[in-house]
Amino acid sequence: MTTIATNPIEKRTENRSSATIRFAGDSGDGMQLAGSQFTNTSALFGNDVSTLPEFPAEIRAPAGTLAGVSGFQINFSSEDIFTPGDRVDALIAMNPAALKTNLRDLVEGGILIVNSDEFNIANLAKAKYPTNPLETDELSRYQVYAVPIATHTVEAVKDLGLSAKEAERCKNIYSLGLVYWLYDRPLEATINWIKSKFAKNDQIAQANIRALQAGFHFGETAEIFPVRFRIERAKLPTGKYRNITGNQATAMGLITASRLCGKPIVYASYPITPASDILHQLSHYKHFDVKTIQAEDEIAAVCMAIGASFTGAIGVTASAGPGIALKQEAVGLGVMTELPLIIIDVQRAGPSTGMPTKPEQTDLWQAMLGRNGECPVAVVAAASPSDCFQTAIDAVRIAVQYMTPVFVLSDGFTGNSAEPWRIPKAADFAPFPVIHPADPTVFQPYARDERGVRPWAIPGTPGLEHRIGGIEKADITGNISYDPENHQHMVNLRAAKIDNIAREIPPQDVYGDASGDVLLVSWGGTFGAVRTACDTARKRGQRVSHMHMRWLNPFPSNVGDVLKRFKHVVICELNMGQLQLLIRGRFLINAHGLHKVQGRPFMVSEVLAKVDEVSRG
């Protein structure tokens, strides 16, 4: 039987360099809010932070069921970190379903706090527990603290006149207060947030503040917790920081890019998980010449973006994998018309509807090859939530300088996760102003500069009338052409233009030694786990280096040379080998693959196991 301490104990504080915790409960329990507040408080405290929100795939699964569990994981540290953590040191489970779906990730001896009020016959049955795990030896490997969180919450707010349902809704804030005590976090930031959030409803504000304080004070006064933990501030570079998610950073990067090139943003999209938040973010920035459109469908959205680019704006659209599939014919139109277009793919697990709230990297082939005809586009992938900012800027710069569609690949993990971001200074960015042609005496719509780029003429400019559309154009004049030799020529020119982008991107760098036994290759959101694994392997004395690829089309010009300097190459990606096939085909090397399609990011231990496997071979 699980034992829970009840005798008076002497509390102590233990210093640690990092900790990973997870809030888990029903989708209506407010776990995302509790996790976000813990993240913000830890970031303000000065820790380095990395998060992993997990949402149920169904819009509203039945309460208490396994399908309805929502979670939020936070890794916070006094050192630089790159992942939300492999396994958790503390799990806060608000019901039996949350316990069952998350217990596998709790380290042996880890802290398990459960809301004992929810462990009744009905909820145990929904979670498919034949017996109450709190009354057996099933949890004996963990430090179990059964706390009647709902009861304590209702007691804390009982004189505020709330209904029973309203009072119990504060239980997520009670659990947050308890975990704040456990990890020596201050309450002030969350109290200020509550006051601001519920400024027009003082009754609800006071209830949440009382619940927060009650949870904190229970940890302080209850004679069941033998130790609390302290994670000191991280030694981050000096500067002004804010906590940021990948989708927020993408929106800010787009706005920054529009100011750097002097063109407005027109963002057209159709709501889809996990890309919708970019639309929500951008809709608040009309004063920065940002126009947002919620289109009636995916095809309309991308066509609106192309139309905006034709008129001289930066046309942007975004979706996840299913929506990108619908946009692809219009992306081909963007290639044929040679207009700047940004297509953001916040990837999710597929195929078809797949697992809408879970991340994968399974759209690389779709971005590079998923259109009819010879239809090359530029492809760049963000490495982390904060890197989405610079990735968006780079994508816009390449799109306008090379008059081409550019795919930006993110994913559900990168887009929804959060980390501290040092806010850059405006002076750190070089403008890339757009110059439109105006002289009709020299204008030719498909004449090209030294990079192979045609001019971007604004409709209505006197004397610059020209044909544009999806039918093949004659070189120079842009007249409609069905000539076979001209078609071959134009296909070659469009391909060469994309290849020329390699001139604008930096050479591929390598973390670690320039040559060695194992080169770990990653792209997109796998960066953190692979970098951490590389560091761990090197500390163990293994000759392991890391090459993280941001530019996937074109590849940086030196990628082939880098690959040939290592005995083994392991390509780590959340798919079944998409970059692996491209690397093998392009450079004719026997690259190994580390593949995972479980709707979850890599764990560092999985990458290390692959390093050991290929090293033995």
Query: Tell me, what's the pLDDT at 61?
Result: 82
The pLDDT of residue 2: 44
Q: For 11, what's the count of Cα atoms within 13 Å in the CB-facing half-sphere?
A: 14
Last residue of a domain, one of 200, 228, 256: 228
- Which CATH number belongs to the domain containing residue 57 in this structure? 3.40.920.10
- CATH number of the domain to which 364 belongs: 3.40.50.970
Residues 461 and 330 in one domain: no
Q: How far apart are CA 607 and CA 529, in angstroms?
A: 8
- Nearest-angstrom CA–CA distance, 525 and 385: 8
Identify whether 6 is part of a domain. no
Q: Is residue 76 part of a domain?
A: yes
9 pLDDT band, cuts 50/70/90, is low
Query: Do 218 and 266 reside in the same domain of the chain?
Result: no
Q: Read off the amino acid at residue 101.
A: T
Together in a domain, 421 and 440:
no
- pLDDT score recorded for residue 10: 65
E strand segments, 17-68: 18-26, 48-54
Distances (CA, A) of 582 to 224, 578, 585, 588: 56, 7, 5, 10
Share of the chain above pLDDT 70, in %: 98
Q: Residue 554, preceding bond cis, omega within 30 degrees?
A: yes
Same domain for 284 and 410?
yes
pLDDT score recorded for residue 5: 44
Q: What are phi and psi of 585, to 5 degrees?
A: -70, -35
Task: Say whether both 445 and 395 belong to one domain.
Answer: no
- pLDDT tier at 128 (50, 70, 90 boundaries)? very high
pLDDT reading at 484 higher than 60: yes
User: Are the C-beta atoms of 295 and 269 separated by less than 8 Å?
Assistant: yes
Give first-to-last CA distance, the chain, whole Å: 46
- Give the three-state DSSP class for 555: coil
Question: Rounded to whole angstroms, how far apart are CA atoms 82 and 532?
Answer: 7
- Note whether residue 224 is domain-resident: yes
Between CA 57 and CA 68 the distance in angstroms is: 8
Q: Is the pLDDT of residue 555 over 70?
A: yes
HSE (side-chain half, CA atoms, 13 Å) at 537: 31
Asked whether 148 and 16 are in contact (CB, 8 A), the reply is: no
Q: Which amino acid is at 326?
A: L
Q: Which domain holds residue 484?
A: 436-502
How far is the C-alpha of 47 from the C-alpha of 81, rounded, in Å?
Answer: 10
List, in sequence order, every residue forming a beta bridge with 16; answer none if it has no partner: 231
Mean pLDDT on 473-480: 96
Phi, psi of 522 (to 5 degrees): -135, 165
From residue 351, alpha-carbon distances to 269, 325, 331, 380 in Å are 21, 11, 20, 22
* pLDDT 10s digits, 350-391: 999 999 999 999 999 999 999 999 999 999 999 999 999 999
Both 409 and 356 in one domain: the answer is: yes
pLDDT at 274 > cutoff 90: yes
Average pLDDT over residues 316-333: 98
pLDDT given at position 257? 98
Same domain, 483 and 569: no
Name the H helices within 540-603: 559-563, 578-587
**pLDDT classification of 516: cutoffs 50, 70, 90:** very high
* Number of structural domains in the chain: 4
Considering the domain boundaries, does residue 528 fall inside one?
A: yes
Task: Please write the tens of the pLDDT for every residue from 41-83.
Answer: 999 999 999 999 998 877 778 889 999 999 999 999 999 999 9
Q: What's the pLDDT at 517?
A: 98
Instruction: Check if the beta carbon of residue 21 is closer than 8 Å to that of residue 38.
Output: yes
What's the average model confidence in pLDDT over 518-544?
A: 98
Q: Collapse the DSSP code of 289 into the 3-class scheme (helix H, G, I; strand E, B; otherwise coil) and give the result.
A: coil
- Residue 3 domain flag: no
User: Is 106 in the same domain as 217?
Assistant: yes
Residue 511 lies in a domain: no
68/196 same-domain check: yes
Which of 364, 396, 428 corresponds to the end of one domain?
428
Q: Are 483 and 491 in contact (CB under 8 A)?
A: no
pLDDT, averaged across the chain: 96
Residue 227 has a pLDDT of 93
Same domain, 282 and 176: no
Look at residue 236 and tell me if it is in a domain: no
pLDDT higher than threshold 70 for residue 8? no
User: Are residues 379 and 440 located together in one domain of the fold?
Assistant: no
User: Percentage of the chain surpassing pLDDT 90?
Assistant: 95
Among 6-10, 291-295, 387-391, 527-531, the range scoring the smallest mean pLDDT is: 6-10
293 and 410 together in one domain? yes
pLDDT single digits (tens) 395-441: 999 999 999 999 999 999 999 999 999 999 999 999 999 999 999 99
Give the pLDDT confidence score for residue 57 in this predicted structure: 77
In a domain, 61, yes or no: yes
At residue 559, the pLDDT reads 98
The CATH number assigned to the domain holding 596 equals 3.40.50.920
DSSP string, 147-174: E-HHHHHHHHTGGG---HHHHHTTHHHH
Domain boundary (450, 474, 502) is at 502
Model confidence at 3, in pLDDT bands (50, 70, 90)?
Answer: very low
Distance in angstroms (rounded) separating the CA atoms of residues 291 and 518: 47
CA atoms of 250 and 344, how far apart (whole Å): 9
Do strands 314-319 and 143-147 pair parallel, antiparallel, or not at all (unpaired)?
Answer: unpaired
Instruction: Give 573-599 pLDDT, tens digit per residue.
Output: 999 999 999 999 999 999 999 999 999
317-346: burial string, b at 16+ Cβ within 10 Å, e else: bbbbbbbbbbbbebbbbbbbbbbbbbbbbb
